[in-house]
Amino acid sequence: MPVPAATTPPAAAPAPTSGLAPAREPAWARPREPAQRVVLVTGGSRGIGAATVRRLAAAGYLPVFTYRQEAKTAQALVEALRMQGQVAHALACDVTLPGALEALFAQVDGIGPLVGLVNNAGILGTIARVDDLAQEDVSDVFACNVTAVFETSRLALRRLSTRHGGPGGSIVNLSSGAARTGGSVEMVLYASSKGAIDTFTLGLAREVAAEGVRVNAVAPGLIDTEIHARAGQPQRLTTLQSSIPMGRAGTADEVAQAIVWLLSDAASYVTGSILAVAGGR
Distance CA 136, CA 139 (A): 5
25 in any annotated domain: no
Full residue range of the structural domain in which residue 75 is found: 33-277
Q: Domain holding 129: CATH number?
A: 3.40.50.720
For the chain, give the number of residues.
Answer: 281
Query: Residue 15 has what pLDDT?
Result: 46
> Which pLDDT score, from 0 to 100, does residue 16 have?
46
Give the total number of structural domains in the chain. Answer: 1
Say if 9 falls within a structural domain. Answer: no
Distances (CA, A) of 127 to 187, 218, 227: 6, 23, 12
How would you classify the pairing of strands 114-119 and 89-92? unpaired
Q: Alpha helix locations (H) across the chain?
A: 47-58, 71-83, 100-111, 135-142, 148-160, 178-181, 188-208, 227-230, 236-240, 252-263
- Residue-level pLDDT at 242: 74
Does 111 fall in a domain? yes
Residue 104 lies in a domain: yes
- Is residue 176 in some structural domain? yes
In a domain, 16, yes or no: no
> Catalytic residues, which ones?
190
- To the nearest 10 degrees (0 to 180), the angle between helices 47-58 and 71-83 is 20
Is residue 43 one of the residues assigned to a domain?
A: yes
Averages of pLDDT over runs of 10 residues in the chain (281 residues) are 48 46 46 72 97 98 96 97 97 97 98 97 94 97 98 98 98 95 87 98 98 98 74 65 83 97 98 92 76
Task: Identify whether 178 is part of a domain.
Answer: yes
pLDDT of 272 reads: 98
Predicted confidence at residue 132, as pLDDT, reads 96
